Amino acid sequence: MGYNGAVAALEHAKKLLGARERTEAQLRAALVRKGFGADEIDQAVARLKALGFLDDRRAAEAHARTAFAAKQSRAAVTRKLGALGVAEAEARAAVTRIASEVGQDDELAARALLARRRLTGVKAARFLAGRGFDEALIRRLVPGLDAD
- Report residue 111 CA to chain centroid gap: 22
From first to last of its 148 residues, the chain has per-residue pLDDT tens of 456 888 899 999 999 999 999 999 999 999 999 999 999 999 999 999 999 999 999 999 999 999 999 989 999 999 999 999 999 999 999 999 999 999 999 999 999 999 998 888 999 999 999 989 999 999 999 988 765 4
Distance CA 106, CA 132 (A): 10
> Residues with Cβ < 8 Å from 96, sequence gap 6 or more?
none
- Report residue 33 CA to chain centroid gap: 20
How many degrees, rounded to 5, is the angle at CA 55 between CA 60 and CA 133? 5
Distance CA 109, CA 90 (A): 23
B/e letters for 34-59, b = 16+ CB within 10 Å, e = fewer, are: eebeeebbebbbebbeeeebbbbeeb
CA neighbor of 22 nearest in space, from 42, 51, 47, 45: 45
